[in-house]
């Protein structure tokens, strides 16, 4: 089971990906007094010879950590920037149906960078092939961290404990 990690301001430490750690590490944070638990998993207690504790569902750091401001280029982040929509036909995409298209094909010198890659459906990506005649609806750009966080917040999260939802709005 995972534990959600919140910064000292009660916001998730990271959204891309969501800041979670394994329950063993969460207990280490608590023992080292780096964090305190906000909620626990019901009926889940871990024991040692000298003490026992419930497993935390959410921990909050005692000291504020400055959030990341840069965004790593990745296929999933490009899909997120493009809101999981094909940039040629605007068809909604999923993680399994989305493909990465190079506006200027690699065969013609195109690079895998923010300003040359867009999300595309399989049909549009195949139809465009290695040509440059088809242009995306929206010009590709390098997003900032908060732009992607805003787009990530509207997508569903996989939550391990219902109390996480209070902090993922």
Query: What is the tens place of the pLDDT at every residue in 91-115?
Result: 999 999 999 999 999 999 999 999 9
Distance (Å, rounded) from C-alpha 165 to C-alpha 169? 7
Contact 169, 150 (CB under 8 A): no
Report whether the peptide linkage leading into residue 17 is cis, meaning its omega lies within 30 degrees of zero.
Answer: yes
Identify the CA nearest to 140 among candidates 74, 82, 73, 71.
82
- Which tens digit of pLDDT belongs to each residue from 18-45? 899 999 999 999 999 999 999 999 888 9
Query: In degrees rounded to 5, what are phi and psi of residue 9?
Result: -90, 15
3-state secondary structure of 132: coil
Query: In degrees rounded to 5, what are phi and psi of residue 127?
Result: -65, -40
DSSP 157: P
3-state secondary structure of 30: helix
**Distance between alpha carbon 58 and the CA centroid of its chain, in Å?**
18
Contact 156, 162 (CB under 8 A): no
3-state secondary structure of 123: helix
pLDDT for position 160: 83
Element (H, E) at 21: strand 20-22
Q: What is the CATH number of domain 75-143?
A: 1.10.30.50
Res 169 pLDDT > 80: no
Q: Is the pTM of this model over 0.75?
A: yes
Within the chain, all domains assigned CATH 1.10.30.50 are found at: 75-143
pLDDT for position 79: 97
């Amino acid at each position: 089971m995972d534990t959600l990690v919140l910064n000292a301001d009660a916001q998730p430490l990271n959204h891309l990906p969501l800041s979670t750690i394994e329950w063993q590490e969460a207990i280490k944070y608590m023992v080292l007094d780096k964090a305190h638990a906000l909620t626990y998993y019901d009926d889940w207690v871990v024991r040692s010879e000298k003490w026992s504790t419930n497993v935390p569902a959410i921990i909050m750091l005692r000291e504020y950590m400055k959030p990341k401001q840069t965004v790593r280029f990745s296929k999933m982040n490009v899909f997120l920037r493009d809101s999981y929509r094909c940039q040629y036909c605007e068809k909604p995409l999923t993680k399994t149906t989305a493909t990465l298209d190079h506006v200027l094909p690699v065969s013609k010198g195109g690079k895998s960078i923010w300003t040359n890659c867009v999300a595309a459906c399989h049909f549009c990506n195949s139809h465009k092939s290695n040509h440059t005649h088809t242009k995306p609806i929206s010009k590709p750009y390098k997003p900032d961290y908060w732009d992607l966080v805003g787009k990530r917040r509207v997508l569903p999260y996989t939550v391990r404990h219902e109390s996480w939802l209070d902090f993922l709005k």
